[in-house]
Copies of this chain bind each other. A is one copy, B any other.
C-alpha cells in the first residue's frame, strides 16, 4: 500500500571504509534494499523477515529485489557486510580511538557504547540477531569473532599502557581485565537493548573505572 521512498543520506557514508568486499554498492537501489532489510531485522527479527516487506520498504517489486540479490540469504549477507562496516565506522561524535590517556580511551569506549545505545539502537539489535544466527553459520561466527578479537586486543593495549603509566592498578591482568570490560559492555548493552534505561549505565561505568584505577 504505502509507498516508502528509499531512505536518503547515508549513501556516501557507506562508501568509505570499504575494508570488506561487498561493502560498497555501485547501485543506490541495492543499498536501499540492504537498508530496508536492516531496519526490518531490527524491527521484527529474522523470524519475521519477509522479502515482500523488504521490497515494499525499499519501494520496489519483489521481482526487482531478486534482480539485485540472487536470494534472500544473499541479501542478508550484504546486510552483514553493511553492519560490519557500520560497526567500524559509527562512533560517538567525540570518538577518537588513538588519542588521549589510557583512562580517557576507556572512557571513550564507554561513551561510545552509550552513544550507540541511545542513537543506534537498531545497530545493536541487528548485531545481537546476528550473534544468534552465528550459532548456525560458521562464516558469520568467524566474522563476529574477528570484531571481538580486535576489540579485545585494543583493550589489552590500552590497559597495558595505563598500567605502565601508573594510571591503573599495578596488579591488573590486562587480558583478564580486557575480557571483563568487554563482557561488561556487551552485557549491559544487551540488557539496555531489551529494557532501556533500567540500569544506570554511567554509574556502572564509574564503578568499573574506580576498580581499574585502584
Contact = CB atoms under 8 A, between A and B. Distances in A.
A198 interface: yes
A45 B133 contact: yes
A187 B135 CA distance: 16
A103 interface: no
Contacts of A171: 210
A13 to B, nearest CB: 26
B44 A198 contact: no
What DSSP secondary structure best describes chain A's contact surface? helix
A139 interface: no
Contact of A190 (B131, B133, B176, B211): B131
A207 B195 contact: no
Interface string A166-199: 0000011101110110111111111101110011
B180 A207 contact: yes
Interface residues of A, number: 50
A69 to B, nearest CB: 17
A127 to B, nearest CB: 11
A132 interface: yes
A190 B191 contact: no
Contact of A44 (B136, B175, B189): B136
Nearest to A125: B135
Interface stretch (A18-26, A31-39, A86-94, A141-149): A141-149
Interface string A22-61: 0000000000000000000000111110000000000000
Given A47-B46, A129-B132, A136-B44, A203 B187 contact: no
